[in-house]
């Protein structure tokens, strides 16, 4: 997989790169942004999964993460949220198709040929980080927002060998029980809802998936988030953590909404949470 660097900028003594490469999982070019802190490495890695409508750019330009990442010596990579291109299926709505990959491997047409973000994030992206960047060998950290928070929780619970720490901002905690999730999972995985369950962080956690692996999971949720009651439902994750014996630090942040203003307010605490566990 040859990585093309499309643009680079110096930032807090390190470098931000916008990159692309051919991904076997999606069969398309995939893009990501990556922050390399000052120094030669090898650096511990935090992967950030963005939400609906995002590209590899939203986190890089809006989260304000890199001053702290430089201080902590963390490499931070933010992939695009789906395969893209004229030959890639799409939908007319913001919550399905390009920009809305939901971090699953689609089995249904027209999505199945390219919408394989689960395999991309757990296989192709780690491989490219280790072959082309000064990434430390061993488990990484995983975090994300909303749809990306769902991706972070589910992928980390399924792959404790890949991830040593996990956190999320305003995650979709139970896609089998919210309109965004029901729409995406039925399109990508088919109408049989049994097949959706392995992509539901609350169901996974309640059944003890990866129990004992993560000493804590950090989740921040704004109380003024317009998606809180219908789509996000953090109380389901709290209940699942209790049932599955998983320590969960769920912080309800007073007055914060769903935007990157919320993320930038707490991102440094998440970076520190990961850095401590990746030491």
Ligand X SMILES: N[C@@H](CCC(=O)N[C@@H](CSC=O)C(=O)NCC(=O)O)C(=O)O
Q: How far is the CB of 174 from ligand X (least distance, A)?
A: 14
Q: How far is the CB of 278 from ligand X (least distance, A)?
A: 25
Please tell me the chain's helix, strand, coil percentages from 3-state DSSP, rounded to the nearest 5: 35, 25, 40
Q: Which of these is catalytic: 114, 258, 270, 274?
A: 258
Interacting residues with ligand X between 44 and 83 (CB under 6 A): 51-54, 58, 62
Q: Which of these is catalytic: 95, 225, 270, 274?
A: 225
34-70 burial: b if 16+ Cβ within 10 Å, else e: bbbbeeeeebbbbbbbbbbebbbebbbebbbbbebbb
Q: Is 33 in the site for ligand X (CB under 6 A)?
A: no
Q: How far is the CB of 263 from ligand X (least distance, A)?
A: 8
Interacting residues with ligand X between 145 and 204 (CB under 6 A): 145-147
Could you say which DSSP state residue 145 is in? B
Query: Could you give the string, one character per residue 86-105, with x where binding to ligand X holds by CB under 6 A and - elsewhere?
Result: --------x-----------
Part in contact with ligand X (CB under 6 A); list of ranges 28-36, 64-72, 240-248, 257-265: 257-265
- Total chain residues near ligand X (CB under 6 A): 13
The two three-digit tokens of residue 216, written as one number: 């804590």
44 — alpha (psi -120 to 50), left (phi > 0) or beta?
beta
For β-strands 140-144 and 163-169, DSSP reports them as: parallel
Please return the burial class of 99, using the count of CB atoms within 10 Å of its CB with bins 0-12, 13-18 and 19+: buried
Give the CA dihedral 59, 85, 131, 64, nearest 10 degrees: -10
Nearer CB in complex with ligand X: 51/139: 51
Closest CA to 25 of 96, 94, 128: 128
Quick check: is 225 catalytic?
A: yes
Q: Which of these is catalytic: 50, 143, 146, 174?
A: 146
Part in contact with ligand X (CB under 6 A); list of ranges 8-16, 25-33, 160-168, 254-262: 254-262
Q: Is 260 in the site for ligand X (CB under 6 A)?
A: yes
E strands present in 134-226? 140-144, 163-169, 217-222
Nearer CB in complex with ligand X: 153/164: 153
Nearer CB in complex with ligand X: 52/204: 52
Q: How far is the CB of 245 from ligand X (least distance, A)?
A: 28
Which residues are near ligand X by CB under 6 A? 51-54, 58, 62, 94, 145-147, 258-260
Q: Catalytic residue numbers?
A: 146, 225, 258
């Amino acid at each position: 997989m040859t990585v093309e660097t499309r643009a680079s900028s110096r930032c807090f003594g390190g470098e931000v790169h916008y990159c692309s490469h051919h991904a076997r999982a999606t069969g398309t070019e995939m893009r990501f942004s990556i922050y390399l802190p000052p120094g030669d490495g090898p650096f511990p890695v935090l992967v950030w999964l963005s939400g609906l409508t995002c590209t590899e750019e939203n986190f890089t330009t809006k989260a304000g993460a890199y001053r702290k990442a430089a201080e902590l010596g963390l490499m931070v990579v933010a992939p695009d949220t789906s395969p893209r291109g004229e030959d890639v299926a799409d939908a007319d709505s913001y919550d399905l198709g390009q920009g809305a990959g939901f971090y699953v491997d689609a089995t249904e047409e027209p999505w199945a040929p390219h919408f394989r973000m689960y395999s991309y994030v757990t296989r192709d992206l780690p491989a490219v980080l280790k072959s082309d960047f000064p990434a430390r060998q061993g488990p990484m950290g995983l975090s994300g927002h909303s749809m990306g928070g769902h991706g972070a929780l589910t992928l980390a619970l399924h792959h404790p060998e890949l991830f040593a720490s996990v956190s999320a901002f305003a995650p979709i905690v139970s896609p089998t029980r919210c309109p965004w999730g029901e729409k995406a999972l039925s399109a990508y995985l088919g109408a049989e809802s049994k097949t959706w369950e392995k992509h539901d962080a609350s169901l996974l956690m309640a059944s003890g998936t990866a129990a004992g692996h993560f000493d804590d999971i950090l989740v921040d949720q704004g109380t003024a988030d317009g998606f809180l009651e219908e789509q996000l439902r953090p109380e389901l994750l709290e209940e699942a953590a209790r049932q599955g014996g998983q320590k969960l630090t769920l912080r309800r942040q007073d007055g914060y909404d769903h935007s990157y203003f919320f993320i930038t307010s707490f991102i440094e605490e998440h970076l520190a949470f990961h850095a401590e566990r990746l030491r």
